[in-house]
């Protein structure tokens, strides 16, 4: 009697989840050992989040940065299911999903991503827009179109947070709005991009100054209303008129992750060993924002797409190895540098001893992200679109 194929369930279709699924489908399984792989996500589309900013300036289209899972997985053995995971029965190894019967697993990957916390500030939840998902980008785009079609002389935007996301979205918005834009970045510490290489911070500073983006450093937000933002600087509170408030600060795990009967850290992330396994549960792997991850050298890894992609390679290998009685590999993070977009056709990058900014950095960033897109077919489609777009624009003009 042949043994039932093992079931691998992957919860979350971000970088960690989708890339683990793709890698697992490419590994050399014996025919009678090939597992059933299930990828479950609440959305029908994968989001290549580092390129989300390009939607705001129409440099890229939704299909390029957010292709449907069904399309990406069409030539693989991975089964995709769109649904919301409502529970994990760890004792009986079952996943509960809102719109289908329970799904059993032999190996489980939890990579459901973090969320932007908009809490503690009066009015923030009602009036501030986070910038993390496709839905957030659409909401911002709609608000911008309404303001651009209005008679307002100026469009005033406050971006809360002087980290990567805040700087990138501020520069893109400044380029889109041109002379009508009045932008300010609000940062509670005394500098923007505190954890960035010096070159990238200086290039970002230059980009903000060139676009006349005001910086409120050492400043806290005390209240947000439908048309104003109140800021505290050195004990004094100033209330300013505003049309859009973007909230780019922080990341937190969901209540769902926080309540799982697994070991957590103080931030409610799931604690894992160097093989990316949940403590005391070797058949549960945890990747991305929800993982409290130190690699084999002891370095705490950042919650970035670059880390999640690298983790996915190790995770897929370790699942394959555990099912094939091979040794597992401890995760070793390799920092590949840092890139930021700083407006249309402008970027900065630092890594491997190279520091670049301007249009050359923009081109390299584009090519690196093209290579990082999830499947060869999608890479070719997007690459072709990038090549033909300027030609089509020339013909139209």
Contacts 24+ apart (CB under 8 A), 345-352: 346/171, 346/207, 348/199, 348/200, 348/203, 348/204, 348/207, 349/200, 350/196, 350/197, 350/199, 350/200
* The two structure tokens encoding residue 238: 């100033």
Rounded distance, CA 306 to CA 260, Å? Answer: 26
In CATH terms, the fold of domain 124-247 is FAD/NAD(P)-binding domain (3.50.50)
Distance CA 320, CA 316 (A): 6
- Mean of per-residue pLDDT scores for the chain: 92
How confident is residue 375, by pLDDT bands cut at 50, 70 and 90?
Answer: very high
Q: Mind listing the pLDDT tens digit for each residue in 249-284? A: 877 788 888 899 999 998 899 999 999 999 999 999
- Residue 187's pLDDT is 96
Query: Does residue 54 surpass a pLDDT of 80?
Result: yes
With b for 16 or more beta-carbon neighbours within 10 A and e for fewer, the 170-180 pattern comes to bbbbbbbbeee
Nearest to 203 by CA among 394, 30, 355, 16: 355
Give 388's Cβ-side CA count (13 Å radius): 6
Q: What is the CA radius of gyration of the chain?
A: 22
Provide the pLDDT for residue 393.
66
pLDDT in tens, 293-311: 988 998 888 888 999 999 9
Would 7-42+83-115+252-323 and 124-247 be classified into the same CATH topology? Answer: yes
pLDDT band at 351 (very low <50, low <70, confident <90, very high): confident
DSSP string, 337-387: -EEEE-STT-EEEEETTEEEEEHHHHHHHHHHHHHHSS-HHHHHHHHHHHH
Supply the pLDDT for residue 330. Answer: 96
pTM of this prediction? 0.92
User: What single DSSP character describes residue 29?
Assistant: -
Q: How crowded is the C-beta side of 294, counted as CA atoms within 13 Å?
A: 8
DSSP for 240-284 reads EE-SEEEE----B--HHHHTSSS-B-TTSPEEB-TTSEETTEEEE
Q: What is the pLDDT of residues 203-243, one digit of tens each?
A: 999 999 999 999 999 999 999 999 999 999 999 999 999 99
Percentage of the chain exceeding pLDDT 70? 98
Cα 286 to Cα 84: distance, rounded to the nearest angstrom: 18
**pLDDT tens figures, 73-87:** 998 999 999 999 999
Cα separation, 49 vs 134, whole angstroms? 9
Mean pLDDT of the region 317-322: 96
In Å, what is the CA distance from 46 to each residue of 25, 133, 338?
17, 10, 22
Q: In the chain, what are the domain boundaries?
A: 7-42+83-115+252-323, 124-247, 341-396
| CATH code assigned to 7-42+83-115+252-323 | 3.50.50.60
Structure confidence by residue, pLDDT tens digits, 121-158: 899 999 999 999 999 999 999 999 999 999 999 999 99
Angle subtended at Cα 350 by Cα 348 and Cα 352, rounded to the nearest 5 degrees: 150
Ordered alpha helix ranges (H), the chain: 15-26, 53-56, 62-65, 69-72, 124-127, 134-149, 164-177, 198-210, 255-258, 305-323, 359-372, 376-396
């Amino acid at each position: 009697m042949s043994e039932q194929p093992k079931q691998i369930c992957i919860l979350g279709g971000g970088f960690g989840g989708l890339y683990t699924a793709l890698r697992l489908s490419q590994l050399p399984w014996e025919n009678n050992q090939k597992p059933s792989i299930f990828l479950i996500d609440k959305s029908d589309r994968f989001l290549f989040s580092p390129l989300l900013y390009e939607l705001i300036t129409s440099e890229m289209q939704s299909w390029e940065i957010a292709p449907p899972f069904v399309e990406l997985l069409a030539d693989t053995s991975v089964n995709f299911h769109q649904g919301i995971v409502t529970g994990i029965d760890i004792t009986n190894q079952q996943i509960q999903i809102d719109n289908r019967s329970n799904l059993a697993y032999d190996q489980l990957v939890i990579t459901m991503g973090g969320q932007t916390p908009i809490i503690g500030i009066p009015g923030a939840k009602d009036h501030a827009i986070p910038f993390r998902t496709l839905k957030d980008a659409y909401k911002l785009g709609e608000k911008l179109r309404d303001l651009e079609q209005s008679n307002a002389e100026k469009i005033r935007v406050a971006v809360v947070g002087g980290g990567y996301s805040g700087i990138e979205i501020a520069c893109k918005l400044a380029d889109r709005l041109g002379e009508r834009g009045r932008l300010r970045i609000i940062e509670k510490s005394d500098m923007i991009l505190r954890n960035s290489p010096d070159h990238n911070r200086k290039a970002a500073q230059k980009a903000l100054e060139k676009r006349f983006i005001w910086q409120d450093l050492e400043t806290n937000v005390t209240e947000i209303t439908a048309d104003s933002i109140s800021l505290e600087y050195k004990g004094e509170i100033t209330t300013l008129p505003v049309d859009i408030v973007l909230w780019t600060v922080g990341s937190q795990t969901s209540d769902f992750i926080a309540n799982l009967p697994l070991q957590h850290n103080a931030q409610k992330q799931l604690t894992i060993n160097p093989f990316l396994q949940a403590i005391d549960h070797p058949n549960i792997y945890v990747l991305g924002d929800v993982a409290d991850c130190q690699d084999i050298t002891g370095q705490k890894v950042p919650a970035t797409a670059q880390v999640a992609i690298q983790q996915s390679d190790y995770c897929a290998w370790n699942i394959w190895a555990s099912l094939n009685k091979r040794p597992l590999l401890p995760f070793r993070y390799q920092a590949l540098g840092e890139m930021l977009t700083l407006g249309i056709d402008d970027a900065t990058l630092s890594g491997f001893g190279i520091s670049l900014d301007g249009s050359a950095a923009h081109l390299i960033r584009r090519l690196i992200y093209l290579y990082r897109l999830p499947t060869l077919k999608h890479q070719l489609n997007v690459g072709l679109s990038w090549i033909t777009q300027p030609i089509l624009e020339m013909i139209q003009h």
